[in-house]
Amino acid sequence: MDHVRLMQVFVAVVEAQGFAPAARRLDLSPASVTRAVVSLEQSLGVTLLVRTTRSMRLTEAGSRYFEESRSILQQIDDLNASLADANATPKGPITLTAPVLFGRMVAMPIVVGFLQQHAEVQVTAHFSDRNLNLVDENIDVAIRIGWLPDSGMRSMQVGQVRHVLCASPRYLAARGTPRHPAELTAHDLVAAAALSPRLDWRFGSAEHPVQVKVRPRIVVSSNDAAIAAISSGFGMARLLSYQVADEVAAGRLVVILEDFEEPPLPVHILHRESITGSARVRAFIDHLAGALRTLPILR
């Protein structure tokens, strides 16, 4: 066997957790699988697997080799797929993740538009305010709001959003409009745990920060619940600008303390790094980025 084939056999043994199940997956005899792993270990000069009659475990070197081999094999598959379908119609599954409200309000119309253009594509969308791991969750594309940690992922910025403090005109007429963040302690506050789990709200620039210790009257687990509360006339909440864009445009909510806002947060498309990636994922990313960059609520 060539070295790539030996890597494929080794990865299959680890993923199937045994030589016999790997043999069935690869349509090889168990003896051939065993010889392949032994040959790989001999060529590398290290032990990758410790085998007994009842169990099998990876050595430290084996664990590292497994992760690297799986990544290399995925890159080979991606390259082969991209060459095979470079001029073909996009087809097959795509998995997307995005924050809950962003997914419902912004991403879904774009996803539907893409699917209407490409009848052979299927999209699975995981909308969560928890940042899902693209590798562990086998996700192709993510939309992330905020500064990205350093990682091996590829990213492109497609817009920005702001932290905004909002209240209804009815509430402000009854309780007054604050002129400084320090005045928030005299108001009824609604906190969305998904966005503001801390009990201090930060305003201003890095050079002139203002921090206010808050005691919310209501703490909710979702941003749309916070929007519903303040739209009904109860208190004020700190949310992201795109989340309340419709309410502000309709006059149901008013943005206050704009002079004390923090710098905008970037919006990125994030995807797993590979040599090329499949045509369907590239087409989807291009469509998603083009649509997001045209939205006024992300400027």
pLDDT one digit per residue (tens) for the chain, 299 residues: 688 888 898 899 888 888 888 889 888 898 998 898 899 889 989 998 988 777 888 999 989 999 998 888 888 877 776 666 555 678 889 999 999 999 999 999 999 999 999 999 999 999 988 888 888 888 899 999 998 876 667 889 999 999 999 999 999 999 999 999 999 999 999 998 766 556 788 898 877 888 888 889 999 988 999 999 999 999 999 999 999 999 999 999 999 999 999 999 999 999 875 544 577 888 999 999 999 999 999 98
For CA atoms 210, 214, 218, 220, the dihedral sign is positive
CATH of the domain at 42: 1.10.10.10
Identify the pLDDT of residue 1.
63
Question: Does 281 share its domain with 151?
Answer: yes
Question: Does 102 share its domain with 245?
Answer: no
Question: Does 153 share its domain with 273?
Answer: yes
CATH of the domain at 191: 3.40.190.290
Question: Does 253 share its domain with 169?
Answer: yes
Identify the pLDDT of residue 275.
43
Cα–Cα distance for residue pair 230/60, rounded to 1 Å: 55
The tally of domains found in the chain comes to 3
Question: Does 142 share its domain with 272?
Answer: yes
Last residue of a domain, one of 65, 84, 103: 84
Question: Does 168 share its domain with 256?
Answer: yes
Q: How far is CA 141 from the centre of its chain?
A: 7
Residue with tokens 């990636």: 277
Question: Does 239 share its domain with 287?
Answer: no
Strands 265-271 and 154-161: antiparallel
Question: Does 226 share its domain with 244?
Answer: yes
Q: Which residue, among 267, 238, 272, 271, has the nearest Cα to 255 in the 3D structure?
A: 238
Identify the pLDDT of residue 154.
83
Question: Does 37 share its domain with 74?
Answer: yes
Question: Does 104 share its domain with 252?
Answer: no
In terms of residue numbers, what domain contains 152? 92-161+265-298
Residue with tokens 């943005």: 255
Last residue of a domain, one of 28, 56, 84: 84
Question: Does 249 share its domain with 170?
Answer: yes
Question: Does 273 share its domain with 131?
Answer: yes
Cα–Cα distance for residue pair 157/149, rounded to 1 Å: 14
Last residue of a domain, one of 84, 110, 129: 84
